[in-house]
Structure 1
Amino acid sequence: MVHPLERLVIRHTLRLPSPAGPAGEGDVAARQFDAALMSVGFKLSADALRTLSGLSEGTVVDTAVRTLATVRELVGDHVRHNVYFVDFPANVPDTFEFWMRCVTEALEDRKARPGIIEQLRTGVINLLTLPSYGTYRHTYDEMLAAHDELTAAVGDRLTVLHLGGTLDDEVTALYLALAGSTTPLGDEHLADLGVLAEHCADGDQPAEIPVRENRAVVNAARLKAGSVPLLDTVTDVLRLACALSGGDVSLQAPTRFRKLSRPVRRALLAGLDEVVARAPAKLADVLVHREEFKRLGERLHPHEYPRWPHAADVFAVARGEKKAYTFDGRVEALLGADDVTGAVRLLESAPGKLFRALDRLLRSAATQEERDAVLAAVERVAPEVSGRVVLSVREYLHNRAEETGRKRVFINRTGRAHVTDDARRAVPEDERKQLIAVLDAETARRLPAPERLLVDPDVLDVALPLSGRATAAGLGVLPRGSVSPVDGELLRFFVYWKQRQRVTDYDLSALLLDARYDTVSWLSYTNLREVEGEHSGDITNAPDGASEFINLRLGSVRGTYIVPQVNIYSGERFEEAEESFFGFMLREAEQQGQPFEPRTVRMKSELRGPGRVALPLAFRRAEDGSWHAKWLHLYLKGHPAHNRVEGNQVSVATLLQGIVEREQLTVGYLTGLMANAGTEVAIWDAASVPDEPVTYIGLERPEGLHPDSVVITPENLRDLIPE
């Protein structure tokens, strides 16, 4: 059985915790383990292979069984991927021809025949009523027999598993990294932090937990372990209550508060009382979440605890029985009176709010004196603003150039997106450039100054992960806005889903657009075959899990963009399904193989967002003919049912244009600042690995680095964001 904590370590770090077991002659078993890993696109590092070879055979076998189960799930190989057309991508029929064959087979079926005849009389056939449509017509083993073995290719993915420390050491290090992250975590990582926090409640703790959602999860574990939670705002208490009730600690979705035990109620009320007693002005924060505090008060019964009067004030404010004046309300009053200078003076006491209001302040400023006041305030408070906010504003200002004519893209915390025309007045160009210079200088001041920095050039276009919610859990996944090269002749998408309770039909599609974002063609269940490739066939029910594939020959693609999407035609939402994930593979034309081959998988990500149309990423052809992936991690609201690629062409194209034309801050931006500050920055060369410790930034951890080296890969890319 896979140890849940060991699974978390491997999934988050691609490190194999050092196995505990007796010494022995495990070299044969270790080599067999390595070969089994290679069959699914993984490999043991030299240190890991050497260490396992010195352990007993039983220890190696047990480690292999657990690790293989984990990495197979990482890449999506833990389920059986069948296809409707048994020898896909060969012999995929023309769509109309296929539908006519399904109708003919239905007419030959005694039970189905009367209903089909009745439909034919109306002139409209419902495909879902055809017995041979939408369900597998062969077994998984029959499908395997129809395909030749995959021929190995140099370009096949080979992800190295490096040897880590003991399981306890690795778990503690992972906990400290997630809890102390300077950027918010995605939902999956936040859930993992909850597991780790309960295990590590009595152990080492991070010096600081800057992200409030992370703090709420850690506080829940501390409270369960009998420790005092870390609270310094009334909202911290509300988030903690949500965590204890299994709700949304980001406060974006309503939480149904559970019945709380008396000790927990006392802890929450005592926390509220202390926060307000220490800083009465924080009562104003209650107004932002008034309804949530009302519902929480119904669970806490503050009237039963008169010794905490300040806690009672919190709920009096929520009910409107006690006045509290919000900071934002005071700012609005000043701006409403056209007192920009006064608003700036007030906002200096809340540096983060000042940074977030910069655009409005500059547009509202009527004189040069007011604009100068804004710039001076930014310079004074910049050292007090979190690195994540500094970088977010820097990126925003870069894309706020005068007269850009760009679309305005709105993406909420859950990945739901929409686009509108930007009707705002331009920000004054001189002030915009001056602010960018100030933010660059502040970021450079906070960055580390390693003696030597080695960089894999493929990582330079990876977007900085300013929020963990701008990505998804999985393998080979990069933050929204990242650009990565695509090398291979065949591009193959896949989606897998397994319904929990209701009949559920997901449809994998690919929209092909030209350079002006106009539709060229598409591949879907309504268009099974095109010049560019083939669709594997529509599956409409997934009680045991179902897969769909799209195979594309990149050299034949007409147009500039390929936009894969997953549409919910009917049934359960992505978050409701028992499991749902998307990915893509790259192959050479001569490789053949099964529809799903784990060692050709370049990316696999979970589909758990809102909306009924998922847009994981897009592919763009450059002028030289090469292809690159642009990572999206977006969801469209879609329709309640029957979403199809034909129905969302315009919205997808508009959204893609807004994302493609927006420039993200990348790893290259930070390494450029470090180089300007005097750090020696060199391109990584695997042929000449240095003997001394270095700082390395790349897509994968290379072999042979000095053990004291600092290594930054996508798994811990958030560590690049300065505090």
Structure 2
Amino acid sequence: MTVTDAGTARPRALAAVLLFRRGAVYLPGPGTVSDPAGEAGAALLEADLAQRGHLVAPALRAAFAALDARALGALGRALLHDIDQALGADRPHEPLFSGFPETVPADPYRYYVDRVLTVLFQQPAQPCVLCGTEGSVVPVSPCAHLVCGTCFDGADFTACPVCQRRIDPADPFLKPKRPRRLFGRPDAPRRMRLLSLGGDLITRQADAVQELDTLLARTGALPPQDADDLTSLLAARSRADLDTLPAAVPGRETKARLMAWLLEDPDELTRTLPYAAGLVDTATDVLRVLSLRSGGDAGLVSVPRFAAVPRPLRRALLTLLDALDPAQAAQDMRRHRRAWIHAAERLHPFEYADRHPRAALAFAALRGTRLGDDALSAVLRAAAADAEGIDTTGPAVTARSWSRHVEAALTAGDVTGALALLARRPGELVRRLDHLLRLAVGEETAGRAIVTALGGVTGRVAPAVLLSALGAIRVRTREQPVRVFFPKGASAKAHVADDERAALPASLVRDVVGVLSAELSRRADTGRRVDTAVIDAELDGVMAPFTERTASRAFVTLPRGSELAVPEGRILRLFLHWTESAGSGRTDLDLSVAMFDADWQQLGVCDYTSLRHARDAAVHSGDLQDAPPPLGASEFVDLDLERLAAAGVRHAVAVVYSYNNVPFGELAEAFAGVMVRDLPGGAGPVFEPRSVEQRFDLTGGERACVPLVVDLRARTMRWLDVTKGVTGSQHSVWRHSTALAAQGRSLTGLFASGARVSLGELARLRAAARASRVVLRREGAACEVYVRRDGEDVSAFAARIGSPDTDTDMEPDADSDRGAKRRTSGAGLAFLLRGDAELADGCEVFALYPQRLDASRVRLLSASDVVTAFAAR
């Protein structure tokens, strides 16, 4: 992912898309090799890739060696650039104290006092007010603060010691940095990834088509990085070849992006319009296209002022609307009434009423157009004669309101009436399931009616809606202190409110969960059969993706709410980098960590006010207060997990604030992440690419981000990826400590409660439906084997996977490492945390960390692909 000067995302090049999605490298076609790179050239590139946490497959290494040296040089530079950009290693990382963490002041208050005294009393051509040294005080450029070279070491500071803003790199105050210690073994990342030989450029095009088909098959909204990749994949495709595109696209926002691409070229409308017409089934599909082409988003969260619509496209969009049922179109339009009224100014539906009478009728119903004896009224009356649900007998065009009738029935407690209406829209019925169940408490007949109605519609509901309902309902047998909402919006906000709902009867919850689980089990039974499936038990901590529209563009696609173990004996190094844009002015982002005990009572912070916490258990690199290009600014925080735990810290919450309230999206670039370090203290580079475990972008209109929380007792890291609403300026952890505690407690409680379905649960369902033998790998290479028994259905088999009722004793070498490898080798289906298993060629595999999986031999799945496999059929 790259960022424009305006701070908005720019899609990756096709080679980078396939590199990160498939781990594949594509070489130029065969040609004359006058100067082969040989083993030396291949070895140099391989070493550079290893420093970035990437390994080279033997076939790819041989191909490198056979390339012309000049061609390999160009390929290698492009490859390293893409990887560095994804890791954040393409930017300089110079913290305020270049000797971080060793040279960070032990007493930040004294350092602050020295800065204040310097500002107030330091005079030019006078001895230093702090140490009395004569001739050591010089002004630095451009801030002109008088700085003593004796009190402030120019070899350690990378900015003005007084105002902590960047100064001219050629300023004499700045001296060459002292070399950092390089002893100890290098960091060994968990996320090492194998790069495979994808083939030539023709093969690359074929693989791009396959990746495009995968994205178009997604049932939910695409996360921002996948949406960017979709744009790149469409740009590499010709509109002349539409036969291989799918006949239906289940994801509404994905469909809109495809339609916007189809209708973008007016010269191709005669070719693309028939295919686009086959995709449209709601009026909102057209509104999404208008939003996209005007610079808005496909989710209609923020609808922009619509751009002018050329006449050919105007006629095309009205043609699409005219093919819809006018009453249904009018209902869809009412959901975004203001946007549609503005759209009418661009589409001129009444001007084309003779050609597109049904589209004109839908707009008239939306606006309540008055009827008279004019020609337009005659057209509308004629169109309404065949449109059930629209009335033109009165003084104005009116349409029935489905949502109004639903709300009235629910308000009146009319479960039967509400079910009759909601059955027309299965997704809405499942979304309102909790409300319906609360109305049915104490009414056995109503409860049975809900369960019956639910069983009749679940086959038509999107998998994300089913999974959300299953997670939310199965925990309703007990009262919850709070409710957490993730509302649709431009950012990942989490709203917390007191939960005043009474618990639901266990029998009713059991019946509803049974219907939802049975439908998921039925959908799991798709795809080719395999003999063996492998599942990592640690995937129970990885959540099934939800609200992906607001997910951060990240190096590792980790679903929100997921919890992973932190390796023993390591230091977490959080990092932040940003660069100001021309229009943002001075910006000051702050990387901070708030420390809480087991009851979420604050114990301290590590931020610009407290650079060291608990005797160096947490160390901050210093507060840079501006980030002019090209150097920008970087901040780091080292967390020694063992020492923090010994100091009584249970939860460490990472936060990024915009101190002076400049939105992240106004910056030229802003990203943050976490490294897992093996080397102690100041050993090794400040920023080590191969130790980067996660890197994510800071974008949008938010001023605060809460990416993760570390549980020191359990030694786990939970990925939250949420923003935090703030007001005013001069933000700090202390100011927001109470809100951070409430948010951290609520979110960790939500994801630990079972209210969200995990990838481990979905993996067990898929494995139980498709494999006759399932191997469950536990931490430490221990394996448990489960074999499908006679008469055992998918639900029963899936429930047994992970239980003590195993068939491991039937396997030879059950307790040896050799036996564990033998049991997992040759698997045709796998759901892994790390790709370190021997799998069969063509195996379908999800691996959070692909590691040594060769994409040329196996089919890599994303977490979203796992959910898509449960799509309605």
User: TM-score normalised to the size of structure 2?
Assistant: 0.76
- Measured in 2, the distance between the counterparts of 1:548 and 1:649 equals 21
Code of the aligned partner of 2:234: A
| Residue aligning to 1:242 | 291
| Residue aligning to 2:385 | none
Kindly indicate whether residue 793 of structure 2 is the aligned counterpart of residue 681 of structure 1. Answer: no
Kindly indicate whether residue 313 of structure 2 is the aligned counterpart of residue 313 of structure 1. Answer: no
Question: Deviation string for 1:454-495 (max 9, x for gaps)?
Answer: 234443421111342363222124111111111142111011
- Which stretch of the first structure deviates more once superposed, 137-146 or 559-568? 137-146
Structure with the greater alpha carbon radius of gyration: 2
Code of the aligned partner of 2:541: D
- Measured in 2, the distance between the counterparts of 1:589 and 1:99 equals 30
Q: 1:153 to 1:86 in 2, by over 3 A?
A: closer
- Measured in 2, the distance between the counterparts of 1:218 and 1:518 equals 49
- Measured in 2, the distance between the counterparts of 1:300 and 1:407 equals 43
1:182-193 alignment, distance < 5 Å: 182-193=219-230
Q: 1:552 to 1:281 in 2, by over 3 A?
A: closer
Code of the aligned partner of 1:425: A
- Which stretch of the first structure deviates more once superposed, 153-162 or 96-105? 153-162
Give the drift of 1:253: 1.0
SS in 2 for 1:310: helix
Give the drift of 1:61: 2.2
| Residue aligning to 1:716 | 862
Give the drift of 1:615: 0.5
| Residue aligning to 1:397 | 473
- Which stretch of the first structure deviates more once superposed, 95-104 or 443-452? 443-452
Q: 1:491 to 1:144 in 2, by over 3 A?
A: farther
| Residue aligning to 1:530 | 613
Kindly indicate whether residue 282 of structure 2 is the aligned counterpart of residue 233 of structure 1. Answer: yes
- Measured in 2, the distance between the counterparts of 1:620 and 1:207 equals 47
Give the drift of 1:693: 5.8
Kindly indicate whether residue 545 of structure 2 is the aligned counterpart of residue 465 of structure 1. Answer: yes
Give the drift of 1:136: 4.2
- Measured in 1, the distance between the counterparts of 2:414 and 2:597 equals 49
Q: 1:554 to 1:11 in 2, by over 3 A?
A: same
- Measured in 1, the distance between the counterparts of 2:461 and 2:193 equals 38
Kindly indicate whether residue 457 of structure 2 is the aligned counterpart of residue 420 of structure 1. Answer: no
Work out which of the residue numbers 183, 189, 194 in structure 2 matches 1:156. 189
| Residue aligning to 1:584 | 674
- Measured in 1, the distance between the counterparts of 2:46 and 2:208 equals 24
Code of the aligned partner of 2:832: G
| Residue aligning to 2:445 | 369
1:281-680 alignment, distance < 5 Å: 281-306=328-353, 307-321=355-369, 322-365=397-440, 367-413=443-489, 414-447=491-524, 448=526, 450-469=530-549, 471-487=551-567, 488-500=569-581, 501=583, 502-531=585-614, 532-544=617-629, 545-557=632-644, 558-570=648-660, 572-590=662-680, 592-622=683-713, 626-662=714-750, 663=754, 664-674=756-766, 676-677=768-769, 679-680=772-773
- Measured in 2, the distance between the counterparts of 1:220 and 1:285 equals 19
| Residue aligning to 1:696 | 830
- Measured in 2, the distance between the counterparts of 1:56 and 1:422 equals 66
Question: Deviation string for 1:528-551 (max 9, x for gaps)?
Answer: 111222111111111221111111
Question: Deviation string for 1:384-428 (max 9, x for gaps)?
Answer: 212221111111113333223344344544201221111123333
- Which stretch of the first structure deviates more once superposed, 593-602 or 427-436? 427-436
Question: Deviation string for 1:654-675 (max 9, x for gaps)?
Answer: 1111111113311211233345
Q: Which runs of 5+ in 2 are unaligned?
A: 3-10, 130-142, 146-159, 370-396, 782-819, 849-860
- Measured in 2, the distance between the counterparts of 1:358 and 1:407 equals 16
Give the drift of 1:305: 1.4
| Residue aligning to 1:120 | none
Question: Deviation string for 1:249-289 (max 9, x for gaps)?
Answer: 10111211111111111111111111235xx3332111110
Q: Which runs of 5+ in 1 are unaligned?
A: 117-127
Question: Deviation string for 1:178-202 (max 9, x for gaps)?
Answer: 2221221123322331232233244
Kindly indicate whether residue 324 of structure 2 is the aligned counterpart of residue 275 of structure 1. Answer: yes
How many residue pairs were aligned? Answer: 705
| Residue aligning to 2:97 | 85
SS in 2 for 1:713: strand
SS in 2 for 1:134: coil
Give the drift of 1:698: 2.2
| Residue aligning to 1:257 | 306
Q: 1:59 to 1:112 in 2, by over 3 A?
A: same
Q: 1:444 to 1:299 in 2, by over 3 A?
A: same
SS in 2 for 1:196: helix
Contact 1:317/1:324 (<8 A) preserved: yes
Q: 1:147 to 1:173 in 2, by over 3 A?
A: same
Q: 1:415 to 1:333 in 2, by over 3 A?
A: same
Q: 1:46 to 1:695 in 2, by over 3 A?
A: farther
User: TM-score normalised to the size of structure 1?
Assistant: 0.91
Percent of residue pairs bearing the same amino acid type: 29
| Residue aligning to 1:119 | none
Question: Deviation string for 1:660-715 (max 9, x for gaps)?
Answer: 11133112112333455564221467955967461122245458644311122347
| Residue aligning to 1:4 | 13
More helix by share: 1
Q: State the Cα RMSD in Å.
A: 2.7
Work out which of the residue numbers 20, 24, 30 in structure 2 matches 1:15. 24
Code of the aligned partner of 1:525: Y
Give the drift of 1:15: 2.5
Q: 1:481 to 1:142 in 2, by over 3 A?
A: farther
| Residue aligning to 1:123 | none
- Which stretch of the first structure deviates more once superposed, 454-463 or 281-290? 454-463
- Measured in 1, the distance between the counterparts of 2:177 and 2:189 equals 20
Give the drift of 1:152: 3.3
Q: 1:470 to 1:295 in 2, by over 3 A?
A: closer
Contact 1:21/1:59 (<8 A) preserved: no
SS in 1 for 2:541: coil
Give the drift of 1:169: 1.9
Q: 1:542 to 1:571 in 2, by over 3 A?
A: farther
Q: 1:717 to 1:18 in 2, by over 3 A?
A: farther
SS in 2 for 1:645: coil
SS in 1 for 2:730: coil
Code of the aligned partner of 1:264: L
- Which stretch of the first structure deviates more once superposed, 464-473 or 609-618? 464-473
